């Protein structure tokens, strides 16, 4: 899934906590947004491995959620939602396409790395690739729902996320061509600094 979809999923996951403690709704929604995008901060360095921990995020989410319900507060709720968003992000990545420059080709058997078993989880391809039409539909549906239940700055965040998702979906299939063209112009000493998928065909 693309980043806006992950962010919106994280915010949706925050809603029960916002209902549990409305006074901490802002912290919950922000934590959901951050948790939803956190794993993808490894995009250019060990993507879907360096910050993707499907097992460990999920295990740590259980006590964090219990703490948030037993002792609701800004810290416990934010921690629970952040970890929940990050764990769902990693699990959702396993339902998408593989880790390759053109995931619609279906050549990669790497979806997300499982540090616990020290192996890559294979892509299920329920969402064929990040930025696929079905990915945008998910963003639009989640965004439409969120827009009706949040207010103020969060409505702006949701609207921008859907706008970015739509733009990314439109240009997604041409981005690899642009990326490889740029890489071809870079001097070879720079290539080791780039993600391996950007060097496909070089």
Q: What is the pLDDT of residues 106-116, one digit of tens each?
A: 999 999 999 99
Q: Phi, psi at residue 112, to the nearest 5°?
A: -155, 145
| 106 CB-contact burial (10 Å; exposed 0-12 / middle 13-18 / buried 19+) | middle
HSE-up of residue 31 (Cα within 13 Å, Cβ side): 26
Tens of pLDDT, residue by residue over 187-201, are 888 888 788 787 765
- Name all contacts of 121-126 with Cβ < 8 Å and 24+ positions apart: 121/54, 121/94, 122/94, 123/94, 123/95, 123/96, 123/97, 123/98, 124/94, 124/95, 124/96, 125/95, 125/96, 125/97, 125/98, 126/95, 126/96
Per cent of the chain over pLDDT 70 is 99
Verdict on whether the full-model pTM lies above 0.85: yes
**Res. 19: pLDDT tops 70:** yes
The pLDDT value recorded for residue 201 is: 56
Q: At how many degrees (to 10) do helices 25-37 and 74-93 cross?
A: 30
């Amino acid at each position: 899934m693309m980043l806006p979809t992950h962010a919106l999923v994280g915010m949706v996951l925050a809603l029960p906590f916002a209902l549990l403690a409305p006074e901490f709704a802002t912290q919950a929604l922000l934590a959901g947004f951050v948790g939803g995008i956190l794993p993808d901060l490894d995009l250019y360095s060990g993507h879907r491995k360096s910050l993707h921990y499907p097992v460990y995020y999920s295990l740590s989410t259980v006590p964090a959620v219990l703490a948030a319900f037993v002792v609701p507060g800004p810290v416990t709720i934010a921690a629970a939602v952040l970890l929940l968003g990050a764990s769902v992000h990693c699990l959702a990545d396993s339902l998408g396409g593989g880790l390759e420059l053109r995931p619609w080709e279906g050549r990669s058997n790497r979806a997300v790395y499982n540090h616990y078993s020290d192996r890559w989880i294979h892509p299920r391809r329920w969402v064929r690739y990040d930025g696929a039409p079905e990915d945008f539909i998910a963003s639009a549906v989640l965004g439409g729902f969120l827009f009706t239940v949040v207010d103020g700055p969060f409505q702006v965040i949701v609207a921008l996320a859907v706008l970015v998702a739509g733009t990314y979906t439109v240009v997604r299939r041409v981005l690899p061509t642009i990326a490889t063209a740029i890489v071809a112009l870079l001097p070879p000493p720079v290539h080791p600094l780039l993600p391996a998928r950007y060097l496909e065909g070089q």
